[in-house]
Amino acid sequence: MKKIILYIFAYITMLSFHACSSFLEESPKSQIVKDTYYSTPAQALANVNFLYRVGAQGRMSNAGSAYVGPNASIDGMLTGYFINSYEGQELACRYARLLTRSTSLSTLSNLLNDIWDNCYLAINVSNSAIKYIPDIPGIDETYADRLVAEAKFFRAFNYYYLVKTFGDVPMYEEPYESYTDNLLLGRTPVADIYALMEADLTVAVNTLPEVMFAMNEHRISKYIAAMTLANVYLRQEKYSDAADAARIVTGSPHRLETNDDLALGSAYNKLRSIDDLDEVIYAQEYDESISSGGWWPTYAFSSGAVSVFGTYSIFERVYGPIDRFLNVYEADDLRIQPNQFFHWTYTNPNNGRTWSSESAGCWYYYDENALLNSGRATKDWNFFRYAEALLVAAEAIAASPEGVTSEAAGYLAEIKARADMNGKTIAQYSTELQALSNDDFIKECWTERLREFPLEFKIWDDCSRTGMFPVISETTQGEVTYVPLIGATNGAGAVFSSSDLFWPLSIDELQRNPNLEQNEGYPTQ
């Protein structure tokens, strides 16, 4: 089922000429798109395939460094509930966790440029595909519509990542075709960019096949587009629209994985170790021989694991929870038990050597074959799971005029029942949840998101979109309250200000484009 990877690498030579591979770098030549790049259906496919491996997806899934995780992992450190054990070197992680500002952004330029350049590269290739594919001589109209819909999905997906990261950003709807094109736009209000996202994703939902990702040769489908659209609506507080988009997914063949047992046969261990599950809506593919997952397996342990394994030379807990975060779980929640999402000790079955730690390691990143045998990570990285569709639908319905319905309660109950170790049923949970007020029910959805996606880099998205911060009890397991984000104290003792909501623009980009203005609270040189 790794076909999309094979397609991409089969066309890699052509893409070096046709995909504008250095967009928004100093040389304007790299920004130009030409209609000759779209002369045949094969070229169209090659350029759209390129979008599967560039842009926002890599900012969430690329484990290319042994010392710092994907860009999106740094967002979670803003909460103070997660830490990179190597933050003395990886300053962006320390700055984020302590909510501090550097007097110079030069140390962060590579990180900031990586996000900006890669997302705009994907947007420019998307724009060219949208413009030129319909006019390719001899191309089948249905096939062209499908490729354009995929390109529109990726344009929206990358703009969504940009606005969450930077706020207002330049909005380009046309590819760069000549040196006279305006490459230096100012910042477009996020409301206008959201309108473009909604339009693009609606086309994708209405055009792409009603097939699960794994059954669709790992290509974008209706359900992936609908899941993204639901998140776009939810972030704008368009709750009825978010509920309707999420219902497309809840009405799909996707489903929650079940527990075969409450140990290594749990749903959470299946999600950790098995690709192409029915729960997975959208994932980044990895393959041992073509495109491996990099350092992901080493993130499961602290540096002491070097002596336990012979397959990797470096181990760092690049995104590990502090003890207080783990109090988000009640004691009998399956997800906090050893070898579910987290672990504290591990014995290598090949040599009997043991790793142990007082701080939780990240079992969700553990890849048995890579660590014990091959030294090559192959597990796909899940962007969207059906669990998220259920939680988005539950929250959106409750926040809409519908309120806490049996449908909303049933969705949330599915998540809770799967994590229950005492046999409590979905029906029992649903009955209890329907007795909650709208406000309490919505906060219960937020808390379940903390518990369900602790290592998938969603915590900061929830803080920034809701404007609320989860205060996890230091003494009582399972107790979480919510306070306004601005003025709240994070898990590291730092206080949030409004300038913490967005990343700074890089100094390189400000110097390159005089029409840009820096985000609040950051230096301009």
159 pLDDT more than 60? yes
pLDDT in tens, 480-517: 999 999 999 999 999 999 999 999 999 999 999 999 99
Give the separation between CA 445 and CA 404, rounded to whole angstroms.
11
Residue 392 lies in a domain: no
Position 3 pLDDT exceeds 60 = no
354 within domain boundaries: yes
In a domain, 333, yes or no: yes
**Residue for token pair 């420019």:** 124
- Residue 442 CA to residue 380 CA, distance in Å, equals 31
Residue 253 maps to a domain = no
Q: What is the pLDDT of residue 20?
A: 37
Tell me the residue range of the domain where 346 lies.
Answer: 286-379
| Two tokens, residue 380 | 């796909």
Instruction: Confirm whether 315 is domain-assigned.
Output: yes
Instruction: State the pLDDT at residue 101.
Output: 83
The answer to whether residue 349 sits within a structural domain is: yes
| pLDDT band with cut points at 50, 70 and 90 for residue 523 | confident
Mean pLDDT of the chain, nearest integer: 92
Q: How far apart are CA 177 and CA 32, in angstroms?
A: 5
pLDDT (0 to 100) of residue 178: 65
What number is the average pLDDT over the span 38-48? 94
User: What type of residue sits at position 298?
Assistant: T
Q: Residue 514 domain-assigned? A: no
**In the prediction, which pLDDT does 524 show?**
83
**Measured over all CA atoms, what is the biggest interatomic distance in the chain, rounded to whole angstroms?**
67
Q: What is the pLDDT of residue 289?
A: 80
The string of pLDDT tens digits covering residues 15-39 is 333 333 332 333 323 344 566 779 9
> What predicted TM-score, i.e. pTM, was given to this entire model?
0.93
Compute φ and ψ for 343, nearest 5 degrees: -155, 160
Average confidence (pLDDT) over 417-443: 98
Q: What is the pLDDT of residue 26?
A: 31
Query: Taking residues 368-397, what's their average pLDDT?
Result: 97
Question: For 286-300, how does the pLDDT look when each residue is reduced to its tens digit (9 = 90+)?
Answer: 988 888 999 999 999
Q: What is the mean pLDDT of residues 139-144?
A: 97
For the chain, what's the residue count?
525
Number of domains forming the structure of the chain:
1
- The arithmetic mean of pLDDT across residues 70-81, rounded, is 97
| Mean pLDDT along residues 444-451 | 98
| Mean pLDDT score, 263-268 | 98
Query: Is the model's pLDDT at 11 over the cut of 70?
Result: no
pLDDT of residue 45: 95
Nearest CA among 160, 65, 74 for reference residue 112? 74
**Cα–Cα dist 192/196, whole Å:** 7
Residue 361 belongs to a domain: yes
List, for residues 215-247, the tens digit of each pLDDT value: 999 999 999 999 999 999 999 999 999 999 999
Q: Helix/strand/coil (H, E, C) string of 430-455?
A: HHHHCCCCHHHHHHHHHHHHHHHCCC
Those residues with Cβ within 8 angstroms of residue 423's Cβ, 6 or more apart along the chain or in another chain: none
Where residue 2 falls among pLDDT bands split at 50, 70, 90? Answer: low
